[in-house]
Amino acid sequence: MDMRRLGRTDITVSSLCLGTMTFGEQNTKAEGFAQMDRAFEGGINFFDTAELYAVPPKAATAGRTEEIIGDWFEARNNRDQVILATKVVGRSSGMDWFRDDGSLPKLDRRNIMEAVDKSLARLKTDYIDLYQIHWPDRNMPSFGASPMRFKTPDLLKDEIPIAETLGVMSELVTAGKIRAIGLSNESSWGAMKYLEAHRNQGLERVHSIQNTYNLVNRTFEVNLAELAMREDLGLLAYSSLGQGYITGKYLNGARPKGARSTLFDRQSRYEGPGSEEAYTAYIKLAKEFGLDPAQMAIAFAASRPFTTANIIGATSLQQLDNALAAGDLTITEELETRINELHIIHGNPCP
């Protein structure tokens, strides 16, 4: 397992990161423990979670994933051996269950302070290694809304300035509650505003950006990749399997028992025009090279020069073992050339 520096910090993380959003919904506490044990034994030292999880988001399960991780830390007594990342939710509508007063979340001081203290309690720890802003406090396309369809949004009347949000996060670093700050589902403009606030106002720096990146959505490469590399703002790639679609398990309308799309029917992002043709092409390519399609997709995301870590998720130990094996797979020059040829043909059908 490759080990990589997180941004400009002194934190070193494994190139594969364990995503945990299924714990407390698709996976039981015991299954979550088994996954964390297996990942840790397999060389992963980096776990990612959020106050939102488990998914899909709902009041009954919000924070449950963090509780399971906290119980695992307590049982295994190994908190100091894991780099722990979690997130505070951004501006939300309809999700009034996060804050004690029932208000809708936004990224101001009151909300962030309440969120971090609750996460620390659930995680049974006194510090978080990487605290991330789950999504921005402004109107912008995200979670499947294409940047290519972006329209200048109306400013929110009480939009929280980026510098104000970063100021609160900086307080948490000073207090020792968090070690580093990260972004998620952010744009190049937003990321640069955070870096500008750091430079101009002496606030803490952001060190990572957790965005979607996979074979059918390489939009990160358009301009965020240059930003990530020039500013040491490493990508924590999520959904490298396109929520499972790149494995082929949903081809021809299949709906395997227990699969996310079967259970929740929330994956329209990966069912748009041209998507099935792209999946079929990449799966055929993997088989031509004697590779497992999931492992090829995971290894490709992890091998990009702008990627710090690729977040892998599983609902079974078999899936997790398959993902872990991708850590030993090399994307050869020949394979990369063929992948890029398919990208020219199929583009980004699932932005």
Q: Distance between the two ends of the chain, CA-based, in angstroms?
A: 29
Helix (H) or strand (E) holding 131: strand 128-133
Q: Could you list the active site residues?
A: 53
Number of H helices, E strands in the chain: 11, 10
The pTM score is 0.96
Dump pLDDT digits (tens) for 279-336.
Answer: 999 999 999 999 999 999 999 999 999 999 999 999 999 999 999 999 999 999 999 9
pLDDT score, position 139: 81
**What is the rounded average pLDDT of the residues 201-225?**
97
pLDDT score, position 268: 78
Read off the amino acid at residue 284: K
Question: What DSSP assignment string belongs to 193-225?
Answer: HHHHHHHHH-PPPEEEEE-B-BTTB-GGGTTHH
3-246+300-331 classified as CATH 1.10.287.610: no
| 246: CB partners within 8 A, 6+ apart | 214, 215, 216, 240, 279, 282, 283, 293, 294, 297
Q: What is the mean pLDDT of the chain?
A: 94
The domain locations on the chain are 3-246+300-331
Question: What DSSP assignment string belongs to 224-274?
Answer: HHHHHHHTT-EEEEB-TTTTTGGGTTTGGG---TT-HHHHH---GGGSSTT
Dump pLDDT digits (tens) for 164-195.
Answer: 999 999 999 999 999 999 999 999 999 999 99
Lowest mean pLDDT of 31-40, 229-238, 260-269, name the range. 260-269
C-alpha 25 chain-centroid distance:
18
